[in-house]
Amino acid sequence: MKHPALISFAITFLVGLAAIIIFPYYTVNPGVLIKDHLNLQNDCFACHSPGQGALTQKCIECHNISEIGLITTTGVKRDHINFKSSTLHQSIIKIQCLDCHTEHNGLSRENATLNFRHNVLPEHLLSTCEKCHSDKKPDDNLHKIINADCSNCHQTEEWERVEFKHELIGDIVTDCSGCHENKKPADAFHNGLGKTIQCAQCHTTEAWKPSTFDHTKYFRFDRNHPSNCSDCHNTKENVKTYTCYNCHEHSIAKIEKEHLKEGIRTFSNCVECHRSGDEDQASGKGDERRGRD
Partner 1 sequence: MTAKFSIKNILPLVLIYLAFVAAAAVVHLVLHSAGQKWILRYLGIAGTLLILTSFIYSLRKRKIISFGKPKLLLQIHEAMAWSGAVLILAHSGIDFEAVIPRAAVFAMLIVVASGLTGKYLLKNARENIKSRRSELKAKNLSEEEIEKELFSLSLLADKMQMWRGFHIPLTVIFAALALLHIIITLLFWRW
Interface pattern 21-40 for partner 1 (x via CB under 8 A): --x--xxxxxxx--------
Q: What are phi and psi of 169, to 5 degrees?
A: -90, 5
Report if residue 48 touches partner 1, rule: CB under 8 A.
yes
Output 97 or 239, the one with its CB closest to partner 1. 97
Site for partner 1 in 52-91 (CB under 8 A): 52-54
d(CA 44, CA 26): 12
Give 71's strand partners. 77
CB of 101 to partner 1, least distance (A): 12
Report if residue 157 touches partner 1, rule: CB under 8 A.
no
Output 114 or 172, the one with its CB closest to partner 1. 114
Output 161 or 195, the one with its CB closest to partner 1. 161
DSSP states along 172-237: GGG-GGGT-TT-S--SHHHHTT-TT--GGGT--SS--SS-S--GGGT---BTTB-S-HHHH---TT
Report if residue 104 touches partner 1, rule: CB under 8 A.
yes
**Contact (CB, 8 A) for 127 and 172:** no
State the amino acid at position 167 in one-letter form. E
Piece of the chain touching partner 1 by CB under 8 A; list 45-53, 114-122, 146-154, 198-206: 45-53
Q: What are phi and psi of 277, to 5 degrees?
A: -80, -5
Binding site residues, partner 1, CB under 8 A: 4-6, 8-10, 12-13, 16-17, 19-20, 23, 26-32, 44, 48, 50-54, 98, 104
